[in-house]
Amino acid sequence: MRLFITIFSFICVFISELQSQEAKPTWYIGPYGSLLYSIHETEFLELPGYPACCTENRSGNGLGYDIGLLLHIPMQDIGLRFYLGMNSPSGTIYADQKIGNQFLRNTQPPFDTIARDILVRHQIDATITALSLRPMATFPVPFGGDIIAGLGFSYILTNSFSQQEQLISPDNASFIDGRGIRNESSGTIPNTSLFQTSAIVGYSHNLPISTTSRLIPFIEYHHPLQSLTSYTWNIKKIQVGLALNFGIIPYHKPIIKTDTIIQRDTILQTSPTIAQDSIGLIDRTIRNIEGIVESGLRVDTLFVKERYIFIKQVIPQYNGGIMAVGLDNNGNMIPKPIIKIEEWEQIETFPLLPYIYFDEGSSDLGGTSQHLLLPSEIALFNEDSLPSSTLDIYRDVLNIIGKRLKEQASKTTIAGYRNESINEKGQELSKARAEAVKQYLTQTWGINNNRLPIQFGGLPPIPSNNQSKEGLIENSRVEIQSQDQALLAPLKKKTIIRTMNPPLLAIKPTIGDETPIETWNIHIKDSKDTVYSISGKGRLPDSMFTWQISPSDNMTDEPFNVHFSVLDTNNRTHNWSTTVITDRITLKNKKELRINDTLIEKFALILFEFNKSSLSLANQSIVKQIRESIKEQSIVTIIGHTDITGEKEYNAQLSQARCKEVQRYLGLSVNKVAIIPNGEEASPFDNNSPQGRAYSRTVFVEIRTPIARLNK
């Protein structure tokens, strides 16, 4: 291509030197260029040596180019044209195909595996370039144009391809490997016939632009006389282009000499924003006066006027600093704070909600919020590795039950229900929901079919309000029931929490208003770990930065180091820092110093049924465990909640009743417990989902017991 462009440029220069305004040209030469639209028609399902699962012939098109040189020899009645150029009849061919029941993975959280009918596109992208020669005959027509016809001869220079299978629908999923493309391959198009021929017809029009040159717009159709390959692959082409033709007659060029006159001026400036002195051209004007030809010689005069700017560096002075103060919960500033960081041991229980909610009218388990595993993934599943979040744990409730069933021998009933609306008629829907859950436990987790009897019916035994939208959603469910309390027992996690006093650190960096800043950065280090970082470009914000204090996991007695750095516009760095003293009391410190500590235990009671305050058998079992954790010096707090459906005042009374019921079962007198009936206020979970509403019908019990008392 580079050689072709070089030859093309040389010929254009040569042509411009040979033109004459005094004689009529006898032949024309010049460049042409055209847009090439290629139409690919095939009769194969796969390329030899590159298997594909396409079941239909592929077709397509592409846009390319054709550039080169045109030689035109006019005659009395007809003319001859010869096109020599480079073209690219590349294109994309494809066929769309529906495939049934394919395993896919959601591209949005929770990234579940689903089975769906899919639509895929089998696509081949062909990249072809060729060297072409087209001898053509022209037949003039009365209104100034020419009918053109001839043959095309091409030699293929490059013939590569890439093929793939792309997922089109559904558009919110991917293949199992997380990608939307599979079965990719590439290479050279097999069995290509490098020499190609075609028949050509077209039309062109001559537009004179001078006595010796003209523009020629043209359009051509190329019909292939042979297939591109040994199997059927025909490429038809339509070209729309423009040629520039120059008439050629040699003439004598005069000898040209040039005298140059240069004038230079320089402006001096100083700047603190540059790294070193510099000089640069800011303005340049050139004027050429052409001389008179005398005896084959012409002397031209070139006038050049230049203006330069010389910038001298001035080193700026940087004044800055960094300040850090504490902020208490009321927003009051604490100068020179000492951050007290204390560790506490906490035991928290996360109850299981054995309800699986389905979309209305659907029995598709893949459409629920459950995290579905492949059989090959269950060996890696572990309850201890689940996040300490109630709703995140709920997503794996089927996997928790499946793992526990593998370790036990008890039977578990799977009961399917429906909301009996117009969209959920007939027992078959309830049965299909129960069967879907059972099938997952048997096929994925390998649970014996006889251990999972199913039931099905209309509304659940204790339904939600079936007249509300939320109630309809909650009644479309499967309930997992078992006499073995260990199967649905809550998860218990032991964690360490930290408290900070004061809880916030306010940071204020300062620097001169006129200081040129490229970028700035503030970071706080706890020992060797960076625990906070913020950066920006240009001028510093006027407000203070606030950090919710969060120490490193590798707590030490070292203070926090607050560092402020600035990169100026000359690529120089300036640094300031300060420290904040910390007083750290870790669990290890408490044991070594024999400091009295507090054990925090948090329990959550769920399955308060819709509009109920009585304790179920499962909740009574949890209350029994809670009662065993309460010591003489324990501080007990009971916090009640409801979902957001219903009246606000009624929900407050319902949460009060739930708290009182738990207090009664715990056997605690009024002066031994604090009750906080929140009702629907400060809901602990998102009420936009049925599981979020179910978990919000709850009571939290928090027990704080001094460890010294606990050990006694």
Kindly list the averaged pLDDT for each block of 10 residues, start to end, along the chain of length 712.
52 46 70 96 91 87 95 86 95 91 83 85 94 94 88 95 91 85 92 95 91 90 95 95 83 77 85 74 88 81 87 72 86 85 74 91 93 92 86 92 89 92 89 94 93 93 88 91 86 77 88 79 88 88 85 80 86 86 71 60 76 83 85 89 90 91 88 89 87 88 74 43
Output the pLDDT for position 17.
Answer: 45
CATH superfamily for domain 320-344+497-591: Macroglobulin (MG2) domain (2.60.40.1930)
Domains 354-484 and 598-711 share a fold: yes
Are the C-beta atoms of residues 280 and 321 closer than 8 Å to each other? no
Write the CB contacts of 295 (distance below 8 Å, at least 6 apart in sequence). Answer: none
Alpha helices in 243-323 (DSSP H): none
CB atoms within 10 A of CB 438: 20
Structure tokens at 306: 């230049």
> Encoding tokens for residue 37?
């639209």
State which amino acid sits at residue 242. L
Are the C-beta atoms of residues 239 and 7 closer than 8 Å to each other? Answer: no
User: What gap in Å lies between CA 269 and CA 307, rounded to an integer?
Assistant: 14
The residue written with tokens 């079962």 in the block is: 665
Residues in the chain: 712
Number of H helices, E strands in the chain: 10, 33
Distance CA 113, CA 373 (A): 7
Pick the CATH number of 598-711 from 1.10.390.10, 3.40.50.10470, 3.30.413.10, 3.30.1330.60: 3.30.1330.60
Report whether CATH 3.30.1330.60 matches the domain 354-484.
yes
Torsion of CA 221, 225, 229, 232, to 10 degrees: 90
AA identity, residue 67: I
How high is the pLDDT of residue 606?
62
Tell me which H or E stretch contains 163. strand 145-169
First CA to last CA distance, the chain? 91
> Are residues 650 and 710 in contact, defined by beta-carbon separation less than 8 angstroms?
no
Gap between the Cα atoms of 612 and 654, Å rounded:
8
Radius of gyration of the chain, Cα coordinates, nearest whole angstrom: 42
**Structure token digits, residue 53:** 């699962």
Tokens of 457: 């019916």
Instruction: Write down the pTM of the prediction.
Output: 0.46
Strand pairing of 255-271 and 297-313? parallel
* Alpha-helix runs per DSSP H in 395-527: 397-407, 427-443, 469-475
Amino acid identity of 429?
A: L
- Confidence at residue 436, expressed as pLDDT on a 0 to 100 scale: 94
Question: Where are the domains positioned within the chain?
Answer: 2-92+122-159+188-247, 255-313, 320-344+497-591, 354-484, 598-711
CA distance 126 to 508: 60
CA torsion sign, 254 to 260 to 261 to 267?
positive
Q: How far apart are CA 626 and CA 646, in angstroms?
A: 30
CB atoms inside a 10 Å sphere around CB 375: 10
Query: Under CATH, which architecture does the 2-92+122-159+188-247 domain have?
Result: Beta Barrel (2.40)
Place of tokens 């010929």: 11
* pLDDT at residue 431, as a whole number: 93
Which helix (H) or strand (E) element contains residue 580?
strand 573-585
